[in-house]
């Protein structure tokens, strides 16, 4: 195989400049709709996109390299910053990998704390995405309604994790803090309130004629394309594949709950939108069941003070709000990991964009980009 290593992506693909009928537009790194420092180079013929290439690397923070120079416990806070919107899933992927490698049994109550907090975090992530997506399409108001609900969930999680956004409350062998009655009552109230709110969201946005016109039959991702790029999460489920790590490779105690995997066969942006809204309902169902099944017990397993997993390697995957989050961990028997590889769903989902946006209008490309639900720090890790 031959690789062209001359210059960076831009100089190889876009430096020749536009042809007579096209122009090259630089969306980002500062653009209102990329939600972060994503840069997309777009070659346009009028308003139609001929080529769209994401340029990465503006937020590379070397999380993987940092993992190789920190002890196992020191690396936990990093995981909350990879994907700041669903931080607890990343927490879980990492501590889960270490626990798997060391063969640690997590106490049952700790598993419930993890499930409840992680699903709350998933709802928060989907709510923020919902608001931001409607804002991408020009509707300003919904994001503040979403923030109203998100704020309540944040207040709850603040109580048991100690932070509001970049959570790092999972520990190897358990969690940092137990749930108290105030938290559980709050969760029950939240679960009772959300269905009403979701009904309002449907009336306000989902059924809106203009909104439907902006989503339906826009950005269609056939199953083969989604598979080719390794898309997971709502992007894959929006194409009709019922793949969810919680169901496909059950981890923790997810086999105890009764929940469905929402899918849509339309494969368009609307499909992905509906999948995410349905997932909020499913997460609420999981939380309600978890609160009912709760039993007393310890929240931390007995683990050695210095974590030294045996020699070997392991892979642990969880379902994040954006798709499959995987941590590949290699240990050489010392107190720092030999290698950590993070599999982030946003990177795979973003790779779709180039093919998906080809030939669409600029406004549709923004709709597609929004429907992929990208978190930029996760792409660069």
Partner 1 sequence: MIPTIPMEMLRIIIFTVAIILFVSVNALLLVWLERKLAGHFQVRPGPFEVGPHGLLQTVCDGLKLMGKQLVAPAGADKRLFWAAPILAFAPAFLCFLPIPFGPHLLGMDFETGVILILAFTSLGVLATILAGWGSNNKFSLLGASRAVSQAVAYEVPLLITVLGVVMYSGSLDFTSIIGQQGSWPWQWNVMLQPLGFLIFFVCSLAECNRAPFDLPEAESELTAGFHTEYSGMGFGLFFFAEYTNMVITSSMCTALFLGGWHGPFFSGWWWFASKVYFLIFVMMWMRWTFPRVRFDQLLNLSWKWLIPLALINLFYVAVLVKL
Which residue has tokens 């594949």?
241
- Segment interacting with partner 1 (CB under 8 A) among 77-85, 143-151, 160-168, 235-243: 143-151
Sheet holding 23-27, edge to edge: 23-27, 39-45, 48-55
Is 203 a binding residue for partner 1 by CB under 8 A? The answer is: no
Interface residues for partner 1 in 346-375 (CB under 8 A)? Answer: 361-364, 366
Nearest CB to partner 1, comparing residues 180 and 207: 207
Residue nearer to partner 1 on the CB measure, 323 or 370: 370
Nearest alpha carbon to residue 111 among 184, 179, 186: 179
Would you count residue 32 as binding partner 1 (CB under 8 A)?
Answer: yes
- Site for partner 1 (CB under 8 A): which residue of 136, 149, 319, 380? 136
DSSP assignment of 69-104 equals: TS-TTTTHHHHHHHSSSSHHHHHHHHHHHHHHHHTP
Q: Which stretch binds partner 1 (CB under 8 A): 132-140, 169-177, 334-342, 348-356?
A: 132-140
Q: Which stretch binds partner 1 (CB under 8 A): 3-11, 23-31, 166-174, 322-330?
A: 23-31
- Rounded CA separation 168/163 (Å): 8
DSSP 206: I
| CA 180 – CA 299 distance, rounded (Å) | 12
| Between 116 and 137, CB nearer to partner 1 | 137
**Beta carbon nearer to partner 1, 27 or 95:** 27
Beta carbons of 23 and 32 less than 8 angstroms apart: no
Closest CA to 280 of 162, 343, 190, 344: 190
Site for partner 1 (CB under 8 A): how many residues?
29
Tell me which residues touch partner 1 (CB under 8 A).
Answer: 23, 25, 31-33, 47, 134-141, 144-145, 148, 204-205, 208, 210-211, 213-214, 361-364, 366
């Amino acid at each position: 195989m031959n690789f062209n290593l001359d210059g960076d992506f831009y100089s190889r693909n876009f430096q020749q400049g536009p042809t007579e009928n096209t122009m090259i537009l630089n969306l980002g790194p500062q653009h209102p709709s990329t939600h972060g420092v994503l840069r997309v180079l777009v070659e346009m013929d009028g308003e139609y996109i001929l080529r769209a290439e994401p340029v990465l690397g503006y937020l590379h923070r070397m999380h993987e390299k940092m993992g190789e120079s920190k002890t196992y416990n020191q690396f936990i806070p990093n995981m909350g910053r990879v994907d700041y919107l669903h931080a607890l899933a990343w927490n879980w992927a990492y501590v889960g990998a270490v626990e798997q490698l060391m063969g640690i049994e997590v106490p049952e109550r700790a598993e419930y704390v993890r499930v409840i907090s992680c699903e709350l975090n998933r709802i928060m992530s989907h709510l923020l995405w919902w608001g931001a997506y409607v804002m991408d399409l020009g509707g300003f108001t919904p994001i503040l309604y979403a923030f109203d609900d998100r704020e309540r969930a944040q207040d709850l999680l603040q109580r048991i994790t100690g932070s509001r956004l970049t959570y790092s409350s999972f520990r190897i062998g358990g969690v940092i803090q137990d749930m108290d009655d105030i938290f559980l009552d709050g969760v029950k109230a939240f679960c009772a309130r959300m269905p009403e709110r979701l009904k309002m969201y449907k009336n306000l946005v989902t059924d809106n004629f203009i909104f439907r016109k902006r989503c339906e039959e826009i950005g269609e991702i056939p199953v083969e394309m989604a598979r080719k790029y390794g898309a997971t999460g709502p992007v894959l489920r929006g194409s009709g594949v019922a793949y969810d790590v919680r169901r496909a490779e059950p981890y923790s105690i997810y086999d105890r709950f009764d929940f469905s995997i929402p899918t849509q066969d339309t494969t368009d942006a609307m499909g992905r939108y509906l999948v995410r809204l349905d997932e909020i309902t499913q997460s609420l169902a999981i939380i309600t069941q978890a609160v009912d099944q709760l039993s007393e017990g310890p929240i931390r397993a007995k683990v050695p003070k210095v974590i030294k997993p045996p020699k070997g390697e392991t892979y642990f995957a969880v379902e994040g709000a954006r798709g499959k989050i995987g941590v590949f961990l290699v240990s050489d028997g010392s107190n720092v990991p030999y290698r950590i590889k993070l599999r982030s769903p946003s990177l795979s989902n973003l790779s779709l964009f180039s093919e998906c946006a080809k030939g669409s209008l600029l406004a549709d490309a923004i709709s597609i980009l929004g429907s992929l639900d990208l978190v930029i720090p996760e792409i660069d890790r």
